[in-house]
Amino acid sequence: MNNKEVLLKLNNLKTYFPVEKGVFKRTVAHVRAVDGVDIEIYKGETLGLVGESGCGKTTLGKSILQLVKPTEGEVIYNFDGEKKDLNKLSDKEMMKARKRMQIVFQDPQSSLNPSFTIFGSLQDPLKVFGVKSKAKRKKIIGDLLEAVNLRREYMNRYPHEFSGGQRQRVGIARALSVEPELIVCDEAVSALDVSIQAQVLKLLQDLKEERNLTYLFITHDLSVVEYISDRIAVMYLGKIVELADADDLYKNTLHPYTEALLSAIPVADLDHKTDRIILEGNVPSPIDPPSGCPFHPRCHKRISKCSKVVPELKKYIIDGKEHYAACHLMD
């Protein structure tokens, strides 16, 4: 029985994008980017969300923050005990709710205006959320830059004067500026060199402890997510196919897709090297996903039932812990 406090709960969340054709832009199909996700994010945890590119992870993050409008389902947010569906908030209510949740993108360069100094870019969210005095904004931004291990005086510099790792620290400082409780990190370290990745991951970890943050950490890289996550959800073609505590996912892998992803991680220790499972082909089109288990055309363990029946995400107890998987082999 789990008694952690839930900050966010997704109920059968779906985000579809119409595919339009012809002069009259008739909708002929839908891209099912997020296709029925049920998941909870606990207060103070880091939930890693992994999968190949095109599996719907980024759309799921954006759907939570209402940066894209979900098609169906609920995004229930716990506002200090009062639970509300973000999909149903008015624009004014959502504006207030945004203060609680922020996003850090993969490429901070594209989210920082090149013609603004860092002070210029970072003061916008503070203005929006009512910090009227310029002196106060300067003080807050200086403190934020120090919190992400940059110098206060860097607020007078322009984005091009920073390295990739420094720009990502600025991106994190901007997300922190409105004192959020949830941060969606969307491939936040993927563009960085390995040594800089480690520094930024350590920074995120430290900030989480200091500020009691909750992270949804989206990445295609399972070696990165292991370090930072408390739990990990694996996504394939818009659906969660496995979810477990981070250690447990690596130790007691249940889903063949997760197995294949894990087998692709380079291992330095040759004694613990596993054979790489080569996934056949690419992720199928989310416009016309395969019947039955969406992973079946690429699965190295498929059985006849797999192409006919959709496996449900079911709970199993392994080593005394909850572990979810959507695979017929578990039956």
Q: Which is nearer to ligand SF4, 61 or 256 (CB)?
A: 256
Q: Which is nearer to ligand SF4, 105 or 324 (CB)?
A: 324
The single residue among 256, 279, 283, 313 that binds ligand SF4, judged by CB under 6 A, is 256
Least distance in angstroms from the C-beta of 180 to ligand SF4: 36
The single residue among 295, 313, 323, 324 that binds ligand SF4, judged by CB under 6 A, is 295
Cα–Cα distance for residue pair 251/274, rounded to 1 Å: 13
Name the phi and psi angles at 34, rounded to 5: -125, 125
The single residue among 293, 313, 323, 324 that binds ligand SF4, judged by CB under 6 A, is 293
Q: Return the range that interacts with ligand SF4 (CB under 6 A); candidates 56-64, 157-165, 243-251, 296-304.
A: 296-304
Report whether 236 contacts 32 (CB < 8 A): no
Please count the residues of this chain forming the interface with ligand SF4, following the rule CB under 6 A. 14
Task: Name 14's bridge partners.
Answer: 35, 72
Cα–Cα distance for residue pair 30/242, rounded to 1 Å: 25
Q: Return the range that interacts with ligand SF4 (CB under 6 A); candidates 95-103, 111-119, 204-212, 323-331.
A: 323-331
106-132 exposure pattern, b = at least 16 Cβ within 10 A, e = fewer = bbbbebbeeeebbbebbbebbeeeebe
Residues 14-73 that bind ligand SF4 (CB under 6 A): none
Q: Which is nearer to ligand SF4, 267 or 330 (CB)?
A: 330
Residues in the chain: 331
Residue 328 touching ligand SF4 (CB under 6 A)? yes
Q: Which is nearer to ligand SF4, 34 or 299 (CB)?
A: 299
Q: Return the range that interacts with ligand SF4 (CB under 6 A); candidates 61-69, 172-180, 191-199, 288-296.
A: 288-296
Residue 237 touching ligand SF4 (CB under 6 A)? no
Q: Which is nearer to ligand SF4, 137 or 239 (CB)?
A: 239
Q: Which is nearer to ligand SF4, 231 or 255 (CB)?
A: 255
Cα–Cα distance for residue pair 29/286, rounded to 1 Å: 10
Least distance in angstroms from the C-beta of 95 to ligand SF4: 42
Looking up tokens 């959502």, which residue turns up? 94
Cα–Cα distance for residue pair 194/132, rounded to 1 Å: 40
Please report, for residues 9, 143, 307, the alpha-carbon distance to residue 222 in angstroms, rounded to integers and kept in the order given.
24, 33, 27
Instruction: Kindly write out the interface string for residues 297-316 of this chain, putting x where it contacts ligand SF4 by CB under 6 A and - elsewhere.
Output: --x-xxx--x----x-----
Cα–Cα distance for residue pair 144/154, rounded to 1 Å: 11
- Amino acid letter for position 35: D
Task: Name 78's bridge partners.
Answer: 83
- The site for ligand SF4 (CB under 6 A) is made up of 255-256, 293, 295-296, 299, 301-303, 306, 311, 327-329
